[in-house]
Amino acid sequence: EPEVTQTPSHQVTQMGQEVILRCVPISNHLYFYWYRQILGQKVEFLVSFYNNEISEKSEIFDDQFSVERPDGSNFTLKIRSTKLEDSAMYFCASSESRPGAANYEQYFGPGTRLTVT
Amino acid sequence: QKEVEQDPGPLSVPEGAIVSLNCTYSNSAFQYFMWYRQYSRKGPELLMYTYSSGNKEDGRFTAQVDKSSKYISLFIRDSQPSDSATYLCAMSTGNQFYFGTGTSLTVIP
């Protein structure tokens, strides 16, 4: 069964450092997403990406965040200067279609746990 | 005011019971409604997706949406120990997604 993969599974970084979280979406999917989940809190939408550009972003997704699809398979989330409060689980997801389509289904990856010290 | 409200539980039921999970929301712009299951240290897994008021059934799962009351439910029939997980409701305007806090469910053999 196809799946979304994410690397690394756990990333530890010092405050102020840049991190890049990597995702490989399902190969025929066209819509890509990043979410975060701070420990014990709800899953929060960060950004959606389609046709090589951001379709929508939340208030959380400020100038320190950026996303990129550098090649035909990877989808990355970059945090430019990490803060302690960026510590969370970051989930990548992908879907073949967008909400509204009868066959809409969003598949999540296993997540990258980011710890900022 | 929170966009999506969900009782975090925990909820504990005996095997075979019918489980009812619920969420309320405040934003009339939500058009799409989803239920996810999340096992510990895993990503959410989509269980049910619907975009209209009424019921949608898939095996032991039934999703119910009442847009007039801004209330959605997930029913699990004949619950199994393997159903033990956190259940997240989620809603979308089509562009942004909003999740509930999740309800922790334990099904006791």
Q: What is the pLDDT of residues A14-25, one digit of tens each?
A: 999 999 999 999
Q: Check whether B90 has a pLDDT greater than 70.
A: yes
Tokens representing residue A103 in the block:
């066959």
Distance of CA A57 to the CA centre of its chain: 12
Is the Cβ–Cβ distance between B62 and B56 less than 8 Å?
yes
DSSP H helices in A1-64? none
Question: Is the CB of residue B101 less than 8 Å away from at least one CB of chain A?
Answer: yes
Residue B93 is classified by DSSP as: S
Contact yes or no for B96 and A56 at CB 8 A: yes
Residues 31 to 90 of B: which have CB under 8 A from any A CB?
31-32, 34, 36, 41-46, 49, 51, 88, 90
DSSP E strands, chain B: 4-6, 11-14, 19-25, 32-38, 45-50, 54-58, 61-66, 71-76, 85-92, 97-99, 103-108
Q: What is the pLDDT of residues A44-94, one digit of tens each?
A: 999 999 999 999 999 999 999 999 998 878 999 999 999 999 999 999 999
Nearest to A111 among B34, B43, B90 (CB): B43
Q: Check whether B1 has a pLDDT greater than 70.
A: no
- The reported pLDDT for the residue numbered A47 is 96
